[in-house]
Amino acid sequence: MTTSPLHLSLVTPVGRLVLESTGDELTGIWLPNDLRDVPTAATATPPVLREAATQLEEYFAGDRTEFDVPMDLAGTPFQKEVWAELSRIPYGQAISYGELARRVGRPTGPRAVGQANGKNPIPIIVPCHRVVAGNGMGGYAGGLPVKQALLRIEGAVA
């Protein structure tokens, strides 16, 4: 496994994404509002970044509803529990923060669940955009226009 992160820039219908890996696993996706420059290095792009890019392109084309990219989600045990539950939300469906809190056994903790949701390092693939506020869209680390576009792509009604 490589120690310094490797990156791949991908132009998508929601803007430029930057995929990150430290070797054999995807470790991050930077959304368009998280403006970072992709370091230009002479290193070859690792297969996991090429595979993640291919799967994301298929998703945006409407040809993929699930992802199977190896990932390394760095976070607290609680965050990882929330992110695992996000991955169980079916394509094309949206749930509330309150429902997500109930699903992880914290029915009085939708705010804490929302904060963990916002720290998701691999958005889209770990579908944090599928969680909405009970009274509307709610927030999104990538910005509401990106969240709305992702939900539209999936045909989900918030």
Number of domains the chain is built from: 2
Q: Per-residue pLDDT tens for 1-46?
A: 446 788 888 999 999 999 999 889 999 999 887 766 666 555 678 8
Provide the pLDDT for residue 109: 86
**Residue 6 CA, distance from chain mean position:** 18
Task: Output the pLDDT for position 20.
Answer: 92
Q: Which residues of the chain have pLDDT under 50?
A: 1-2
Question: In the prediction, which pLDDT does 1 show?
Answer: 47
CA dist 129 → 43, 110, 133 (Å)? 32, 15, 11
* Shared domain check, 142 and 90: yes
Cα–Cα distances in Å, from 100 out to 46, 67, 72, 136? 34, 20, 22, 15
Segments forming the whole domain that contains residue 105: 77-154
In-domain check, residue 71: no
Active-site annotation, residues:
128
Boundary (domain end) residue, out of 14, 29, 60: 60
| 150: in domain | yes
